[in-house]
Structure 1
Amino acid sequence: MADLAPQDQEQQVKKLKRLLEGWRMALIPLKSVILWEQQWHPCAIIGSISFLYIVIWLLDLNSLATVAVLGLIFNFIDFIVPVVSNSLYGPSAWTGQKEKMFEEICRSIIIQYNKLMQQMWSFYSLRDTSPCMYYIISIGMLCTLAWVASTINNIFLLYVLSVVMLMWPGVQHRGALNSLLSLINMAPKMIKSE
């Protein structure tokens, strides 16, 4: 699978913009929270995820009921956000600068989606080019996943996965991972110099 042509990517961006039309006023502040533009944004992300998982834990529902309740919550949010956004902000609140930011958000979502699809395709192409490597990697990953899932509480695993997924854009944007890795690389040099 070759990289997408620019016109294909533009078509994807246009399609996503139409899909997220009702969410456009909410996506702009949400982007600043996800990218940690204020110091309290990581705490807000972790706090809201923790609140959601504490409610799930306190309800103590079985798996199917949990999926149903989460589906109801997400449907309610998907319904209420465009309604509230349109009632709070009129059409005059939408400026050219906000339109540009909205298009940038949609473009970055499409770019990340295409990167993920490219990585998945390259992994599955191993099945044809190097079947032994494909099966070693996939069986090893699935066995590890089964072992971790059987030893650790599944709700806790979902909580950790949710925190990592929602914190990752901010970590990348701030360069926190690069700073940590450079610190780790410098540690042996600092020990030798002492």
Structure 2
Amino acid sequence: MSGDAGSLKRSIEGWREIVILTDSVLSWEKEWYPAVTSGTLSVFFLIIWTQDPNMLTLLSMIGLLVTLLDYAVPRIQAKLFPENSWSPEKERKLENICQELMFVRTGLGRVCERISVFKESSPLMYLSGVVVSLYLVSYLGALFSGFFVSYLFLITLCMLPGLYRRGLLAKYCGGIILKIGEFVKAKKLE
């Protein structure tokens, strides 16, 4: 295991059972897990929508929830999951999760690096791409509530691991990815 993945593994030691359970749910190990994911997020957003808090209250409540969970989960986990229930299989699964998270982190870093290189190499194309992207986002913001867009974004983000592991992304989005790859290769040849 790489140093970064090992460091991540040590930092989530108190959450390891929850991390494995969350990975199981997000990767759809059981057929009904997508319904649990979308239902939980829908109920969460419905509660926020009915309460209609202002932004400062919402951020404070989220911060409070995160702080309480950070304090309570390791203590509750120690009582619910005894140390002898931890198996080598769970250890391998946790290592794989940490390596996948590091892979995502590295990929995001490379995307940011590519964008930076693109900005340096062709600033006019970069400017036009950013302006068009921000215009589209603002247009979507005018059409739909930001709350609804946040809901769709989180649902999509939570469904991606399951879609990827089931091969549905490759099956239905493979053509798009190939086209983008061909476009990038064609740009490099120019």
Per-residue deviation, residues 105-135 of structure 1 (Å, max 9, x unmatched): 1011000111011011101211111111111
Give the TM-score normalised by structure 1. Answer: 0.85
Structure 1 residue ranges without an equivalent (≥5): 1-8, 184-194
Q: Which residue of 2 aligns with 1:3?
A: none
CA distance in 2, matches of 1:95, 1:13: 19
Letter in 2 for 1:139: V
2:121 aligned to 123, 129, 132, which one? 129
1:69 deviates by 1.1
SS at match of 2:2: helix
CA distance in 2, matches of 1:142, 1:171: 28
TM-score scaled by length of structure 2: 0.86
Identity %: 27
1:105 pairs, out of 92, 97, 108, with 97
Query: How far off its partner does 1:181 sit?
Result: 4.9
Shift of 1:178: 3.1
* C-alpha deviation, 1:21, in angstroms: 0.8
Which stretch shifts more, 146-155 or 103-112? 146-155
How many residues were matched structurally? 176
Residue of structure 1 in register with 2:79 after alignment: 87
Task: Please state if 1:117 is matched with 2:109.
Answer: yes
2:166 counterpart (171, 174, 184): 174
**CA positional deviation for 1:33:** 0.6
1:124–1:134 contact (8 Å) kept in structure 2: no
Tell me how far 1:53 sits from its aligned partner: 0.3
Deviation for aligned residue 1:99:
1.3
CA RMSD of aligned residues (A): 1.8
Distance 1:64 1:36, change over 3 A: same
Does residue 73 (structure 1) correspond to residue 65 (structure 2)? The answer is yes
Q: Does 1:42 align with 2:29?
A: no
One-letter identity of the residue aligned with 1:143 = Y
Partner SS, residue 30 of structure 2? coil
